[in-house]
């Protein structure tokens, strides 16, 4: 579960699908016990309750019926101008046990109207069951017979609940949050000038630049617990596990908890690392605002690196086959991450050819929109 953006708002993970499933099962057990062998009719209130109602019915252990209704309003048919009516109920409810299934009850104003309409249908027993209940804002005297979970007065989405029509299809619950940081994943092929741009951007936006390479070297040089662990893998000729790398980066973030944000350089490199980074930031109510990739042609960069190799002393800058192998590795990893962030509308490609100032301006234009 990672922070999601719906329209102009951010939402952080709140309740997992498994937690919702457990709450629903508890409600089913309570209601089935009270109903015994009686055949109740469950009424789902649209639009929000459709997921909850569907899962509830699948779990109900005995015979039952279900119907869905919606409260509609229209104008101009009475002196008051607005008349509420219940759309969708065609069954004869005389003498029946009717249980209203609500996704969430807050003030109770809409539910009050629905309850009164059903009371006029000569039902035998009328009860209310809700997945979520906000007791601090509930203003009615209605009896709420079954409550799945009482929650604070926070705006939530997912599992049928929406924010301006988005978010209903999310299978878990998220709550509204306000990220305080600007967090950027900066990508670029070898020789694209990513390090130079990261140094400029961190000063321009007062961000902390976290380079995976620098973090590794620091931990290994200072023989931290994570550094010694990473070194043991390296000495054995093995790749350092994602968990070790992620723990190093988390430690860096924790050391800078009050900053305006981070530029992540060299991490993530795989979709699993991106998911882990999202999950970690979500625990802090934060998110990655965007992945920005410097785009430069491979041939141009090969020439640039070979020229750099004449003075840098780096052997990997002096062998064209090694350089192109680095590009192949970069392109493979970038393609995976591009898809990952593009699905979140967070991928931005920027022309990396031109003067340092021009490229900085292009990057800044993107960051300013985030």
Task: Indicate which residues carry an active-site annotation.
Answer: 194, 269, 308, 314, 326
What residue has token string 């393609």? 335
Which two tokens mark 36? Answer: 């015994």
Contact 116, 89 (CB under 8 A): no
Main-chain dihedrals φ then ψ at residue 108, nearest 5 degrees: 90, 5
Residue 127: CA count within 13 A, CB half-sphere: 18
Which two tokens mark 271? Answer: 């979709």
- Helices 242-255 and 225-235 pack at an angle, to 10 degrees, of 150
- Helices 17-35 and 50-59 pack at an angle, to 10 degrees, of 60
What residue has token string 């952080």? 12
Rounded distance between C-alpha atoms, residue 166 and residue 160, angstroms: 10
176 C-beta neighbours (distance < 10 Å), count: 16
C-alpha dihedral, 128 to 129 to 130 to 133, nearest 10°: 70
Which two tokens mark 158? Answer: 């997912």
Rounded distance between C-alpha atoms, residue 161 and residue 325, angstroms: 48
- Helices 194-205 and 356-369 pack at an angle, to 10 degrees, of 50
Rounded distance between C-alpha atoms, residue 3 and residue 11, angstroms: 6
Contact 172, 15 (CB under 8 A): yes
């Amino acid at each position: 579960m990672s922070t999601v953006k719906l329209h102009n708002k951010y939402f952080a993970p709140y309740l997992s699908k498994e937690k919702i499933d457990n709450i629903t099962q508890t409600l089913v057990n309570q209601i089935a016990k009270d109903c015994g062998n009686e055949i109740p009719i469950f009424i789902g209130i649209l639009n929000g309750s459709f997921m909850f109602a569907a899962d509830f019915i699948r779990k109900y252990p005995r015979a039952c019926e279900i119907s869905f209704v919606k409260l509609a309003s229209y104008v101009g048919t009475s002196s008051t101008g607005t008349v509420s009516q219940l759309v969708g109920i065609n069954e004869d409810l005389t003498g029946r046990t009717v249980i209203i299934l609500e996704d969430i009850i807050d003030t109770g104003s809409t539910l009050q109207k629905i309850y009164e309409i059903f009371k006029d249908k000569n039902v035998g027993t009328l009860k209310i069951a809700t997945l979520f209940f906000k007791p601090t804002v509930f203003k009615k005297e209605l009896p709420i017979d079954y409550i799945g979970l009482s929650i604070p007065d926070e705006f939530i989405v997912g599992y049928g609940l929406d924010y301006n029509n988005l978010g209903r299809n999310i299978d878990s619950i998220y709550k509204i949050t306000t990220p305080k940081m600007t967090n950027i994943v900066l990508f670029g092929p070898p020789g694209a000038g990513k390090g130079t741009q990261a140094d400029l951007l961190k000063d321009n936006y007062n961000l902390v630049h976290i380079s995976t390479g620098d973090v590794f070297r620091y931990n290994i040089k200072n023989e931290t617990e994570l550094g010694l662990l990473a070194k043991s893998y390296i000495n054995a000729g093995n790749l350092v596990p994602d968990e070790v790398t992620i723990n190093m980066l988390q430690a860096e973030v924790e050391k800078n908890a009050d900053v305006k944000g981070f530029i992540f350089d060299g991490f993530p490199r795989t979709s699993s690392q991106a998911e882990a980074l999202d999950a970690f930031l979500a625990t802090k109510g934060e998110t990655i605002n965007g992945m920005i990739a410097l785009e430069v042609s491979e041939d141009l960069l090969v020439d640039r690196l070979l020229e750099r190799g004449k003075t840098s002393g780096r052997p990997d800058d002096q062998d064209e086959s090694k350089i192109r192998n680095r590009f192949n590795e970069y392109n493979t990893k970038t393609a995976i991450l591009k898809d990952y962030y593009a699905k979140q509308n967070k991928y931005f490609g920027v022309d990396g050819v031109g003067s340092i100032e021009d490229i900085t301006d292009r990057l800044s234009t993107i960051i300013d929109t985030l």
